[in-house]
Structure 1
């Protein structure tokens, strides 16, 4: 069986495989570089970046929640459309979709998110929770969770 497979592989196949393997790591390098730049900018300003969760439904931001060690545990329910619900849980520096009434439960199975760039997406309800970082103190809406 391996002899037949070996006959089908050509020298260029190895080169193409190696190139594809190297290219697959480019997004990781870009993301790591951007994280490093963000931390360096925060260090230059002598301020810690503010981490916050942005909750949007139908591409409209409905809540921004500051995530810090002082953020208390909180549960709240969102009703994106009639007959739909999402129970969102905030606990310190992390947030999750604890419960919803979708058949696939993808957002619920995503679990806790806490790092900038992470997302929890509930497609049937068109609800997206995104973790973002900012050095501006006015970005998060602290009306939901106060430190």
Structure 2
């Protein structure tokens, strides 16, 4: 490898690191008050229910033709407490309480994502890929 190869690798790594650092900084500086966040529950790509994350305990039982799951809302967050999937990996995802965190159960085609409705950043218009 020549000096130019090392320089090119260094530039690419610095660019990737700065982009990652900017996104990390942007996500961790999002301001929200407890009780403002919501959890969007999606089954098979369609919105099933939107739940406000509160301190009070609430149990959400989801029975679809894809499976049976139970979610528990408490302490301004949400956690999956039951899944009838062959490998219940979603149970290991634990308690989530910050924007953009997710719980995914692939056999049940279930996605739980925390959103901040008051956020000024609209990720739906964000760039996904460049061709």
TM-score, normalised with respect to structure 2: 0.72
The number of equivalent residue pairs is: 117
1:1-147 → structure 2 map (5 Å cutoff): 9-22=1-14, 23-33=16-26, 36=29, 39=31, 48=33, 50-68=36-54, 71-81=55-65, 84-135=67-118
> Retained in 2: the 8 A contact 1:114–1:131?
yes
Deviation track 1:44-64 (CA, whole Å, cap 9, x = no partner) reads xxxx58211111101211111
Moved over 4 A (4+): none
SS at match of 2:37: strand
Give the CA deviation at 1:118.
Answer: 0.7
Aligned-partner Cα distance in 1 for 2:79–2:18: 28
Label 1:112 to 1:16 Cα distance change in 2 as closer, same or farther (>3 A).
farther
CA RMSD in angstroms, aligned pairs only:
2.5
Give the CA deviation at 1:25.
Answer: 4.3
Unpaired runs of 5+ residues, structure 2, are 120-131
Give the CA deviation at 1:72.
Answer: 1.2
SS at match of 2:23: helix
Deviation track 1:12-69 (CA, whole Å, cap 9, x = no partner) reads 4433432343214413413533664x53xx7xxxxx582111111012111111113x
Deviation track 1:66-113 (CA, whole Å, cap 9, x = no partner) reads 113xx312223211315x111111112110112212233232111111
Label 1:15 to 1:130 Cα distance change in 2 as closer, same or farther (>3 A).
same
Label 1:125 to 1:94 Cα distance change in 2 as closer, same or farther (>3 A).
same
Unpaired runs of 5+ residues, structure 1, are 1-8, 43-47, 137-147
Label 1:52 to 1:18 Cα distance change in 2 as closer, same or farther (>3 A).
same
> Retained in 2: the 8 A contact 1:80–1:127?
no
Structure whose CA Rg is larger: 1
